[in-house]
Amino acid sequence: MKRWPIVTAAVVGAAIGFLSSMYVGMAIGLATSLTTAATVVVLIVCPVMFFAFLLRFPWWLVPILNGMFYGGVVFVIAKWRNTRMKSQVSRS
């Protein structure tokens, strides 16, 4: 199993988490609200943002937790694919 997809996903997740928290923080700082479409996009690309709001996480944890989430998802997918490939090879 290669490590670079997991590391890449974690870095991309952290970058997306950082940009999402900065975008939401900017909207809060300017005393404006996000449009409905922007809110949906932020919650899709940064699902940790919703839990940070509910559980009152500090905002600086959002990029770290989002990176861990993205890296974990890619790790599970890679493990699943690796196990599936091995089981298909052993069948033939």
* pLDDT (mean) for 30-44: 83
Q: What is the mean pLDDT of the chain?
A: 84
Q: Cα 64–67–69 angle (5° rounding)? A: 110
Domain boundaries along the sequence of the chain: 4-91
Instruction: Quick: pLDDT tens for 46-84.
Output: 888 888 778 887 888 888 888 999 999 999 988 888 888
**Are residues 67 and 14 in contact, defined by beta-carbon separation less than 8 angstroms?**
yes
